[in-house]
Amino acid sequence: MKPINVGLLGIGTVGGGTFTVLRRNETEITRRAGRAIHISVVADKNLALAKKVVGDSVRITDDAFSVVTDPKIDIVVELIGGDGIAKELVLKAIENGKHVVTANKALLAKHGTEIFAAAQKKGVMVAFEAAVAGGIPIIKAVREGLGANRIQWIAGIINGTTNFILSEMRDKGLPFAEVLKEAQRLGYAEADPTFDIEGIDAAHKITILSALAFGIPMQFDKAHIEGISKLEAVDIRYAEQLGYRIKLLGITRRRDNGIELRVHPTLIPAKRLIANVEGAMNAVLVQGDAVGSTLYYGKGAGAEPTASAVIADLVDVTRMHTADPGNRVPHLAFQPDQLSSVPVLPREEIETAYYLRLRVEDKPGVLADVTRILADQAISIDALLQREPAEGEGETDIIILTHVCIEKQADVAIAKIEALPAVKCSVTRLRLEELNG
Amino acid sequence: MKPINVGLLGIGTVGGGTFTVLRRNETEITRRAGRAIHISVVADKNLALAKKVVGDSVRITDDAFSVVTDPKIDIVVELIGGDGIAKELVLKAIENGKHVVTANKALLAKHGTEIFAAAQKKGVMVAFEAAVAGGIPIIKAVREGLGANRIQWIAGIINGTTNFILSEMRDKGLPFAEVLKEAQRLGYAEADPTFDIEGIDAAHKITILSALAFGIPMQFDKAHIEGISKLEAVDIRYAEQLGYRIKLLGITRRRDNGIELRVHPTLIPAKRLIANVEGAMNAVLVQGDAVGSTLYYGKGAGAEPTASAVIADLVDVTRMHTADPGNRVPHLAFQPDQLSSVPVLPREEIETAYYLRLRVEDKPGVLADVTRILADQAISIDALLQREPAEGEGETDIIILTHVCIEKQADVAIAKIEALPAVKCSVTRLRLEELNG
């Protein structure tokens, strides 16, 4: 059978890894795909870099648009990133009847619905395993492996930078700013780390997973996002004392009246497998009504792990290439005309439990006032920690773990607590999830 | 689009679960498959049971052969089990141009190569996600998600009965026979538990995974199998002291000169995620050259978890139904004419580390003799534990953890150790795997 022709856009970390792995495992990959997967051309603005990576073995160009309009190219692999030029190139590739394989989470989270509609109309495939959790085949698991289930929720450690930082903060007891510097030095965080540490990257990925799991359009703009830059080492210590770890989780959950879509530091029980995922590793926990709980763990980033996902998609697309478009795996696991209009819930409607840390004057009645306020909002207390103030100090910390309630109840309670004269400064609030079904 | 017609053979636990989940999640499943999946007929020797489960909604019969020869049936789901009548029925279904979905690990481990060859020849699909690790989509992960990798090894906790027993032995410090009784009482072990506790069920499953991972024919008869019935509580305690847990693992590994295929109790470092998989849960660790280490965890058995896998296959097969046979996912992930002839290695060639427990007379020179014997076989010692004998007792235990060596070296060393006059009874030998790459 003739080889399938691939145009690679972007020869950076992932592009280089894709090229390398395709070459190294060519025999196994060809055996699995049933035909050779041939990179016909590599496009990158930096021709010198391209030449360095691919040598003389492949034609190189700095004109990416020539690739997406070239009639000899069957599949375009977009590894440029971002939602600028990448969006134009992807849409042009689709317009020209080419399948697309991409690792671009930002592009899909913001423009996925438009891109998939265009692809559906044209009868081409858009595959994106590499966009979420690197080499872990999570997209395939949710879209196909768990296809018999009504997904109830997904919770994931899907950003290696923040997970590395949190592991270090816990292991060494150091403050965030210091660990961030170390992470940058070691290459786990970028010079401008905002996307990662403020949770935006994780939000892109959980947005994609929510669309897949619930058959809704991608609604990144509705996600509630909080990163780790305000997390204090003292809260990691208190959480540990109470039997919890703090992880930056991307969470999406089906509720009666809508879908939750959120990213934030979360206390999770230390005994959960996912609580023991350390360093730059990723893990995604999925709860389905038939299968129950399944967990997927592995490297979430890196040249070869991400390339593993890109090439798995290339093999899939190659296999599907001659199939009737109506019978291909729908990009979003649901046929596009079947997308649900269930709304993404606003922050105030989130249903979760809380860790609250208050700094209070050590005088009688404070605890009674605080617990009364919570009771008035129908918020039950699961655990409470209060310590004797140190000698001479008139202030102490009170730590409260609540049971599940609605965020707007917590908002009201916290505002009232902060208004108490004995409560010094604002209340630290972290969400808590038991993750047990 | 017209519904696809399914004949269900066997309405036991998994058959009942399949029927229930297909009905409950009909809307989501139809959306995902793009057409309705319709159970046209249910066959079971026990008509009363069939009637009880499906009521009047589906035609029932006690003649399974009528189902596999019925021209209106597109897909046969075989949930009878074993390699007796199930083999005939599966081959007849294939002969009559029907796709097959099965949960039958024993059938595939022993006759898979013959069955897939027949299916390939006829141009029909045989799907078997439910045959390994219940609802965890591990077949899809290895066959497709990790398709870009050269798989190096797979290690799995793939039998819930034995994992439950080992968790209880460790938590409660009880001997095997007592915990087995409790497992039977709770329904985690059968009245005749041989298949599970002697590792045969796990061996069926790891045989299937080895064929998928390495592109070799299924060679169940070549697997080295040891169960947990001889495991003593004292070894679980010593392992724990040394920082290890004992799990029954199915292991398959690529070596320069062949493939290892084995099932046996294994010491693994307590800090590995897989060492913390408890009760009846399953987990499979896969090492690929590009992605590195990935772990898949979830329920390995049960009506609805297994049904989840059966239905995922039904959806896949439904989608692929009109695709060109040459482009479908090859059953073994490799095109059948491309199967490798790399041999499965015999037990003596296994490369692994060991836990050895010796009972010795407490006299000078014993340790020197033992360590000299190991050195002579080029076996290095990683850890050694020896305790002072109790008051009045003249005997003590010596625990040795070796570095990796070849099994035949260990055989020679152990025989010589057992021949020492100071060594009482035979040496307890358990294999040990670090599982770190």
Q: How far is CA A201 from CA A157, A183, A223, B432, in A?
A: 11, 17, 12, 39
B297-320 residue pLDDT tens: 999 999 999 999 999 999 999 988
State the CATH number of the domain containing residue A179.
3.30.360.10
The answer to whether residue B185 is domain-embedded is: yes
Dihedral angle sign, alpha carbons of residues A92, A94, A98, A102? positive
Longest dimension (CA), chain B: 83
State the CATH number of the domain containing residue B109.
3.40.50.720
Cβ–Cβ below 8 Å for A34 and B335? yes
Are B161 and B281 within one domain? Answer: yes
- Cβ neighbors of A298 (< 8 A, separation 6 or more) are A133, A134, A135, A136, A281, A282, A283, A305, B291, B292, B293, B294, B295
What is residue A12's DSSP assignment?
Answer: S
Query: Which residues between 358 and 417 in chain B have a beta carbon less than 8 angstroms from any beta carbon of chain A?
Result: none
What is the percentage of chain B residues whose pLDDT exceeds 90?
87
Outline where DSSP puts E strands in A234-389. 244-255, 258-269, 281-288, 292-299, 351-361, 381-386
Q: How confident is the model at residue B364 (pLDDT cuts 50, 70, 90)?
A: confident
Are B11 and B125 within one domain? Answer: yes
Choose the closest CB to A25 out of B149, B319, B329.
Answer: B149
Structure tokens at B193: 């538990």
Q: How confident is the model at residue A33, as a pLDDT?
A: 84
B227-275 residue pLDDT tens: 999 999 999 999 999 999 999 999 999 999 999 999 999 999 999 999 9
What one-character-per-residue DSSP string does B126-150 give?
Answer: EE-GGGSSTTS-HHHIIIIITTTS-
Looking from the CA of B126 toward its CB, the CA atoms found within 13 Å total 32
* Distance from C-alpha of A130 to C-alpha of A120, rounded to nearest angstrom: 20
Average pLDDT, chain B: 93
- Residues in A closer than 8 angstroms to B315, CB to CB, are 144, 147-148
With H, G, I as helix, E, B as strand and everything else as coil, classify residue B200: helix
The answer to whether residue B344 is domain-embedded is: no
Are A268 and A380 within one domain? Answer: no
Q: Taking CA atoms, what residue in B is nearest to A143? A: B32
Q: How confident is the model at residue B328 (pLDDT cuts 50, 70, 90)?
A: low
Cβ–Cβ below 8 Å for A327 and B320? yes
- Cβ neighbors of B200 (< 8 A, separation 6 or more) are B194, B225, B227
Query: Which residues between 37 and 96 in chain B have a beta carbon less than 8 angstroms from any beta carbon of chain A?
Result: none
Are B32 and B127 within one domain? Answer: yes
Are A324 and A286 within one domain? Answer: no
Which one of the listed residues A205, A271, A408, A424 is annotated catalytic? A205
**Other C-beta atoms lying within 10 Å of the C-beta of residue A173:** 11
- Residues in A closer than 8 angstroms to B307, CB to CB, are 148, 290
Are B115 and B50 within one domain? Answer: yes
The answer to whether residue A343 is domain-embedded is: no
- Residues in B closer than 8 angstroms to A288, CB to CB, are 135, 308
Q: What angle do CA A421, A425, A430 make, to 5 degrees?
A: 120
Q: Taking CA atoms, what residue in B is nearest to A137? A: B145
Q: Say how far residue B334 (Cα) sits from the centre of its chain.
A: 21
Are B124 and B149 within one domain? Answer: no
Q: How confident is the model at residue A329, as a pLDDT?
A: 55
Q: Is the pLDDT at B390 greater than 80, yes or no?
A: no
Domain count, chain B: 3
Are A128 and A21 within one domain? Answer: yes
Q: How confident is the model at residue A387, as a pLDDT?
A: 77
Are B213 and B276 within one domain? Answer: yes
Are A148 and A130 within one domain? Answer: no
Q: Is the pLDDT at B424 greater than 60, yes or no?
A: yes
Cβ–Cβ below 8 Å for A312 and B148? yes
Q: Show the domain range for A365.
A: 350-432
Are B417 and B377 within one domain? Answer: yes
| Among the listed residues B270, B273, B429, the one whose alpha carbon sits nearest the alpha carbon of residue B356 | B429
Are A309 and A178 within one domain? Answer: no
- Residues in A closer than 8 angstroms to B32, CB to CB, are 147, 330, 333-334
The answer to whether residue A344 is domain-embedded is: no
Choose the closest CB to B319 out of A305, A327, A334.
Answer: A327
Q: Say how far residue B215 (Cα) sits from the centre of its chain.
A: 17
**Other C-beta atoms lying within 10 Å of the C-beta of residue B6:** 25
Q: How far apart are the first and last CA of chain B?
A: 48
Q: Is the pLDDT at B361 greater than 80, yes or no?
A: yes
What average pLDDT does this structure show over B58-82?
A: 97
The answer to whether residue B345 is domain-embedded is: no
Q: How confident is the model at residue B391 (pLDDT cuts 50, 70, 90)?
A: confident
- Cβ neighbors of B20 (< 8 A, separation 6 or more) are B303, B304, B307
Inform me whether the C-beta atom of residue A16 falls under 8 Å from chain B C-beta atoms: no
Q: Taking CA atoms, what residue in B is nearest to A313? A: B145
Q: How confident is the model at residue A336, as a pLDDT?
A: 61
* Distance from C-alpha of A429 to C-alpha of A420, rounded to nearest angstrom: 17
Cβ–Cβ below 8 Å for B146 and A134? no
Antiparallel, parallel or unpaired: β A292-299 and A75-78: unpaired
Domain boundary among A282, A313, A338: A338
The more confidently predicted of residues B63 and A2 is: B63
The answer to whether residue B66 is domain-embedded is: yes
Q: What angle do CA A142, A105, A252 make, to 5 degrees?
A: 45
**B205 is an active site residue:** yes
* Distance from C-alpha of B390 to C-alpha of A144, rounded to nearest angstrom: 60
* Distance from C-alpha of B99 to C-alpha of B78, rounded to nearest angstrom: 11
pLDDT in tens, chain A (437 residues): 789 999 999 999 999 999 999 999 999 899 888 889 999 999 999 999 999 999 998 999 999 999 999 999 999 999 999 999 999 999 999 999 999 999 999 999 999 999 999 998 998 999 999 999 999 999 999 999 999 999 999 999 999 999 999 999 999 999 999 999 999 999 999 999 999 999 999 999 999 999 999 989 999 999 999 999 999 999 999 999 999 999 999 999 999 999 999 999 999 999 999 999 999 999 999 999 999 999 999 999 999 999 999 999 999 999 887 555 555 555 555 556 667 889 999 999 999 999 999 999 988 899 999 999 999 999 999 999 987 777 778 899 999 999 999 999 999 999 999 999 999 889 999 999 999 97
- Residues in A closer than 8 angstroms to B213, CB to CB, are none
What is residue A142's DSSP assignment?
Answer: I
Q: Say how far residue A164 (Cα) sits from the centre of its chain.
A: 15
The answer to whether residue A265 is domain-embedded is: yes
- Residues in B closer than 8 angstroms to A123, CB to CB, are none
pTM for this prediction: 0.95
Q: How confident is the model at residue B325, as a pLDDT?
A: 54
Q: Determine the distance in angstroms separating the CA of B329 from the nearest CA of chain A, rounded to an integer.
A: 7
Dihedral angle sign, alpha carbons of residues B405, B409, B414, B416? negative
Q: Is the pLDDT at B336 greater than 80, yes or no?
A: no
Cβ–Cβ below 8 Å for A335 and B34? yes
With H, G, I as helix, E, B as strand and everything else as coil, classify residue A9: strand
Cβ–Cβ below 8 Å for B144 and A312? yes
The answer to whether residue B343 is domain-embedded is: no
Q: How confident is the model at residue B330, as a pLDDT?
A: 54
Domain boundary among A338, A361, A394: A338
Inform me whether the C-beta atom of residue A323 falls under 8 Å from chain B C-beta atoms: yes
List the alpha helices (DSSP H) in A57-104. Answer: 64-68, 85-95
Inform me whether the C-beta atom of residue B167 falls under 8 Å from chain A C-beta atoms: no
Q: How confident is the model at residue A340, as a pLDDT?
A: 81
What average pLDDT does this structure show over B400-414?
A: 98
Query: Which residues between 287 and 316 in chain B have a beta carbon less than 8 angstroms from any beta carbon of chain A?
Result: 288-299, 304-305, 307-312, 314-316
With H, G, I as helix, E, B as strand and everything else as coil, classify residue B362: coil
What is residue A144's DSSP assignment?
Answer: I
State the CATH number of the domain containing residue A362.
3.30.70.260
